[in-house]
Copies of this chain bind each other. A is one copy, B any other.
């Protein structure tokens, strides 16, 4: 039987507190000791990726204690309960089933009278069949012409994940001749967002996917209305251009105004929905269903590794353990995610939601206030760009910010140029290798302004190339990491009560039902 306990009630956690400051990262990462750590502190992931944690503030003793923490916190048992369909999301009384969209880690999960794995797989197959017809010109616009663009209308989890993965694979797909349609995204209720996107879209040949689990997301319905207006003004048949991705119980589900509807359900939180119909429809239309299937295979393979019960052989679990150690023992409130891959330009923005919305909680899963820090701030930009931007503070600022690098040996396009004796890809890889050592070891200098204290921990996930499988493995790794972090903090990582108050007050403003500061702020905006 699983026991859900607060982090600070666990003996193994209290033991960890005594290890603070015991690893001199600059020393252990220097010389042969550093080389040995890089060889030793690495774990295989799915799709040929490797998780290297050599430059983290850990040693064999701390790793042993982290493994004990994983056992005492019953991380594997909790994950097992989750993938077997237990009601993990207590506040909303829901199962948490996003892993079932890409595989079956445990036993059959029945809910609402259906086998949920079969349901998700069925949606994937429906989307695949639909996408193939679109690509083959069997489903066309009102004039019998092929569609060339797909536009996702969604916000939050219906936007960030699908957008990040589209950008991650767009150039790979072009290089591999499988870019079937261009994708665009409309998310913000700011009218300049839909207007700007629609200016660049050939409306007559565009398919729009309206994505809202509840079918009531105000931003999304508003933008749907924007698009319908534009289609009508262009003399186009709206129903030939609109798809829905929603839950079967939503008002959008039985609406004949859509060309087709594909389904997810309440067991999949928005920020974990990239592998469901939410990401599937737009990505299968853009890249073909085979590419999306490869992406899901990478996720499923990584999920299986996350189910490994040895914490030191489970990359997502170990990553979570080290990050909680950094957050709660070492006291670092921020983590930077730094992919050395331009294709991953919006991956940090997606993980920002996945992490901060999941674990930014002050109460445990039973609604009791916790006495320790939970969810961290996560931000990041691609390298080497970030080196020319905020790395100054990472290297020489007064706060230590743990770093998570991502890098690949090969570029996606494999087109390259040699300048000063090396290719661009070699320069990119040399930079990330250099940064990890610079952050860990620092450098003495007579001039204090040129001194680097070092002692700044980092990890890296390295792969051969950012393929669909690698992309899936990366995403599943982080989804599972955030889940394990939530288990350690004993919070419910699957609700988001913190988004409600703002919605309620915004409705009051729109209804002119305001007083005090709210009325004054509204009047500043002329409302």
A520 at the interface (CB under 8 A from B): yes
Q: Which residue of B lies closest to A454 (CB)?
A: B501
When distances are taken between beta carbons in the complex, the residues of chain B under 8 Å from A2 are none
A453 CA / B422 CA spacing, docked (Å): 55
Identify which of B157, B377, B417 contacts A225 (C-beta below 8 A). B417
Identify which of B363, B449, B517 contacts A55 (C-beta below 8 A). B517
When distances are taken between beta carbons in the complex, the residues of chain B under 8 Å from A510 are 420-422, 426-427, 430
| 8 Å CB interface, A512-527 against B | 515-522, 524-527
Q: Which of A80-88, A144-152, A436-444 contacts B (4 or more CB under 8 A)?
A: A436-444
A373 at the interface (CB under 8 A from B): yes
A256 at the interface (CB under 8 A from B): no
Interface code A191-202, partner B: CB below 8 Å = 1, 0 otherwise?
Answer: 111111001000
Identify which of B368, B394, B499, B526 contacts A391 (C-beta below 8 A). B499
Identify which of B171, B435, B438, B515 contacts A195 (C-beta below 8 A). B171
User: How close is A492's CB to chain B, nearest CB, in angstroms?
Assistant: 8
| 8 Å CB interface, A389-440 against B | 389-399, 401, 407, 409, 411-413, 415-417, 419-438, 440
In the complex, the answer to whether A377 meets B392 with C-beta atoms within 8 Å is no
A249 at the interface (CB under 8 A from B): no
Q: Which of A300-308, A353-361, A472-480 contacts B (4 or more CB under 8 A)?
A: A353-361
Name the residue in A35, A188, A388 with the highest tally of chain B Cβ atoms < 10 Å from its Cβ: A388
> Provided the pairs A396-B362, A427-B506 are in contact, do residues A415 and B195 lie with their beta carbons within 8 angstroms?
yes
When distances are taken between beta carbons in the complex, the residues of chain B under 8 Å from A50 are 524
> Provided the pairs A390-B356, A417-B226, A428-B190 are in contact, do residues A397 and B449 lie with their beta carbons within 8 angstroms?
no
A261 at the interface (CB under 8 A from B): no
Q: What's the tally of chain A residues with a CB closer than 8 Å to chain B?
A: 159
Identify which of B194, B222, B407 contacts A427 (C-beta below 8 A). B222
In the complex, the answer to whether B389 meets A353 with C-beta atoms within 8 Å is yes
Q: How many copies does the complex hold?
A: 2
Interface code A444-466, partner B: CB below 8 Å = 1, 0 otherwise?
Answer: 00011111110000001010000
In the complex, the answer to whether B191 meets A357 with C-beta atoms within 8 Å is no
Identify which of B357, B399, B431 contacts A502 (C-beta below 8 A). B431
Q: Which residue of B lies closest to A496 (CB)?
A: B392
Interface code A475-511, partner B: CB below 8 Å = 1, 0 otherwise?
Answer: 0000000000000000010011111111111111110
List 24 contacting pairs A-B, 8 Å CB cutoff, sorted by A: A30-B516, A33-B516, A155-B385, A171-B199, A187-B385, A188-B383, A190-B343, A190-B384, A191-B415, A196-B342, A196-B413, A219-B427, A225-B419, A356-B393, A409-B525, A427-B510, A429-B525, A430-B525, A431-B506, A433-B525, A434-B505, A435-B505, A437-B505, A449-B495
9 tightest A-B contacts by CB?
A360-B393, A156-B388, A34-B517, A434-B505, A38-B520, A360-B397, A430-B509, A353-B389, A429-B525
